[in-house]
Structure 1
């Protein structure tokens, strides 16, 4: 049975999502707790648990399976952290460079 294109695309996305989730979790764990309150977001514990749960969801579920909804929610949680929270954390810890 030849490999189908949709299978290859889903497999590639699944493998690409792993480092994204791992990076979000690692970044959340390595930041100062007061930086989260300074940017007026949830606490470090909250984001650490969210990204840890997201990483578990990325590992446990597969995009082509019945758990696709959970996998997608995990990917979205990781991407929200990377796109929204991480830049603000980096900015507040670096300071304002005018």
Structure 2
């Protein structure tokens, strides 16, 4: 078990868990997205995003459990959050549009009619 020695330790632990959740969510979405959607959206390949997001999830998990001295404010954890943030803010909406077939045609606000 681990002991939380101060309020700041608790805050950094919660930040590490949130970073891990964000990276895991991005990785799960990338796994479920077809590879052709990345190419059609003119983004990096699915394999490259899976590599980035897998490493990001690994580093943030290490920050949660405190492995090898990694914390919520370590260099690798911050880079992992940035990579996942780029995926979720830029790539996920672009490949999502491809999967839904765009905004034109017989699509309503919540999907096809």
Number of aligned residues? 94
Higher share of residues assigned helix: 1
Deviation at 1:5, TM superposition (A): 2.9
RMSD, aligned α-carbons: 1.5
Query: Residue 32 of structure 1: CA displacement?
Result: 0.6
Greater radius of gyration (CA): 2
1:24 equivalent in structure 2:
26
Any idea what the Cα deviations from partners look like across 1:40-82, whole Å, max 9, x if unmatched?
A: 1110100011100110111123225xxx001110111111111
Of 74, 84, 92, which residue of structure 1 is paired with 2:80?
A: 74
List alignment gaps of at least 5 residues for structure 1: none
Query: TM-score scaled to structure 1, two decimals?
Result: 0.87
Please name the residue that 2:72 is paired with. 63
Q: Secondary structure at the match of 1:34?
A: helix
How do 1:25-44 and structure 2 match up within 5 A?
25-44=27-46
Moved over 3 A (4+): none
Please list every run of 5 or more consecutive structure 2 residues that lacks an aligned counterpart in the other structure. 63-69, 105-113
Match of 1:93 in 2: 99
- How far is 1:4 from its partner? 2.8
